[in-house]
Structures are given as structure tokens and as C-alpha cells.
Amino acid sequence: MKRHIHHFLLSTACALFAVYATADEPRRPECIAPAAPGGGFDLTCKLAQSALVQEKLLSSPMRVTYMPGGIGAVAYNAVVAQRPAEVGTITAFSSGSLLNLAQGKFGRFDESAVKWLAAVGASYGAIAVRADSPYKSLDDLVAAIKQNPGGVVIGAGGTVGSQDWMQTAMVAKAGGIDPKQMRYVAMEGGGELATALLGGHIQVASTDIADSVPHVEAGDMRILAVLADKRLPGKTVSQIPTAKEQGYDVEWPVIRGFYVGPKVSDEAYAWWKAAFDKLLASEDFAKLREQRELYPYGMTGDELNAYVKEQVARYRTMAQEFGLTQ
């Protein structure tokens, strides 16, 4: 009898240890930013990196690695095909990633190929120029494009049909311009975009508010419009007019979040979901998010999965309207 009890206790202890081990914090945590350093994906990873340690959810800092290419396409394919079961790896995504998925730009994998984990905040699209630009408003910009479409070089992250392209295309359309007339230069991420604008290689950057505010505060960039439904809070940002108040009915929220590989275990996924649920409820996390010019927009698990599917369907319709479907 004693032997049976001892065996039962040992089995129970092993089972409990197994559950604890699989549900414990992941070893070698890593966040993949699917672009060069300095843009929105980098910012998203670094927000998680800071917050997970600050809230003592990770005992060692999460590594941020960079995997540029196709505004998330290279990273998406690498995670799904080569690293599908890595429990410690989360990958940043944005609304731009979903737009590209909707157009089939991620290759053979669609929006059902990964496990969507958490959305942690939102930024908003922005149309930016250098501080010394002659363009002071959207009207100035639209008038210049109408007068000489090839004379205004607009830079954006990604190719035609990307999120940044879509922002300027919507503004152009609202201003009575055929978006296909725009002279457009594709770049890889917000860091490269800012460098090109400040270096005078492009005249206009289609970007987002989170990427731009540090340059505005440094005095070398001006934002003509933020693509939000109303002015955003904050000392610097509240001074920036919306496109709507300038007569252009254009909004573009940029959701930022993370996914994990399709074969990550349910236990590991549950650990990450619980960690992000805790962050989203934390006042300290709210402060970290605000420091990065991100606004509250949180959802995890099934709620995020449903949101992603709805958005991709909406973007497919939008892509058809702009003649972008293949």
C-alpha cells in the first residue's frame, strides 16, 4: 500500500511539475521586429521588452531581433515555415501587416497561419514633411501634386498597396487626385523613411504619429495631418490638425501587436496571453505606452483573432476599390 501511495504522490508531483514547466515563463524570450531598426515594429517590440521586465513577468530581458523584408512578409514566412513552435518568440505586427495579408503579399500563407496573441496599442497615420517644407497644410500638398504630380516625391514604408501608400492614396482621392498619378518611393520601415525625408531625398513621408513625434520635437519635421477622427491628446500631438478638420475625410488607425507561431503549445500561448492581459490592466504599462506615442487599444486571444479576420476582410474590399488585387 505504501508503495502505491508513494508512486501516486510521485506521479502527481511529476504531473504538477510538468504543468508548471510548460506554463512557466519562456526561456530565451525574443521579439522579432519585421523591419530595420527605428520604425514602428522596433517600437512595438521595445515596448513589450520594457514592460515585461518592469512588471516582473520575465526575469531576463527579451531580445529584440530584426528581420526586414516586405513589411512583415519575410518574418511571417520564417515563423510559419521554419520556427512554428518556438514558445519564446513573439513577432510584431501592425495594421499594415494585415493590409498586406489581405492582398496576398505574404505569399502562400494567409491570416489563419499564425496564432494572434495581443494588440497593445494604436497609433495613427500621419503625413509628414521637413520643418522647412513649403507645404503648410494638406491643401498646399494637394495643390502641388495637382500642378505637377511628378514633382512631389512621396516616400512610404512598403510598395504600392501598403498601409503608408493607402494613407496618401486616400488623401489624394479625397482631394480629387488619381492615386496612381502620385510619384511614390517605397522604403523598408519608419527609420529609413525618416532618414530619407530629413536628407531631402523625398518631399513627403506617409508615416505614423509614433514614428514622427520625436522628430517633430527635435524641430526637424512637421506633420501636416494626423489621420485620426479627432485631435489626439498630448503636448506636442494636440497641436497637429487632423485631415478631417482640413476637409479630407480620411482616418487610419495603426494597430500594433504580436503573434506567435502556429505550433506554439496551448500552455505557452496561455502564458503569453495572461502576461499581456496583466500588462494591459497595468497603469505602469499605460505610462510606457504613452511615452511611445501609442494610444489605448488592447485585446488578446479570441477577441484579437476575430478582429484580425474582420479587418483583413475589410482591407480586401478596400484593395479592390483601389485596383490593387492581383
Q: Which of 131, 119, 127 is nearest to 165 (CA)?
A: 127
Provide the whole-model pTM. 0.78
Q: What is the pLDDT of residue 302?
A: 97
Tell me 26's DSSP state.
P
End-to-end CA distance of the chain: 71
> Residue 50 has what pLDDT?
96
Cell digits of residue 115: 496564432
Instruction: Tell the residue number behind the cell numbers 497615420, with chain if given.
Output: 125
Instruction: Reduce the DSSP state of residue 251 to 3 states and report it.
Output: coil
Whole-number pLDDT of residue 326: 54
- The tens place of each residue's pLDDT in the chain, 326 residues long, gives 544 444 444 444 444 344 333 468 898 999 999 998 988 899 999 999 999 999 999 998 899 999 998 879 999 999 999 999 999 999 999 998 999 899 998 999 999 999 999 999 999 999 999 999 999 999 999 999 999 988 999 998 777 888 889 999 999 999 999 988 889 999 876 788 899 999 999 999 999 888 888 999 999 999 999 999 999 998 899 999 999 999 999 999 999 999 999 999 999 999 999 999 999 999 999 999 998 889 999 999 999 999 999 999 999 998 888 888 65
Maximum CA pair distance of the chain?
93
The whole-number pLDDT of residue 160 equals 82
Round to whole Å and give the CA distance between 108 and 323.
Answer: 21
SS3 content of the chain, % helix, strand, coil (to 5): 45, 20, 35
∠ CA 135-197-293, nearest 5°, is 90
**Residue carrying C-alpha cell 523598408:** 188
pLDDT at site 311: 94
The three three-digit cell numbers of residue 251, written as one number: 482616418
Residue 151: phi, psi to the nearest 5?
-85, -10
Can you tell me whether residue 147 is helix, strand or coil? Answer: helix
Condensed to tens digits (0 to 9), the pLDDT of residues 82-94 reads 999 999 999 999 9
CB atoms within 10 A of CB 179: 18
pLDDT at 11: 46
Distances (CA, A) of 121 to 55, 134, 175, 264: 17, 33, 30, 24
Q: What is the predicted pLDDT for the residue at 23?
A: 60
Full set of structural domains in the chain with CATH? 22-121+255-321 (3.40.190.150), 124-253 (3.40.190.10)
Q: Residue 203 gets which letter from DSSP?
A: S
Tell how far CA 320 is from the center of its chain.
23
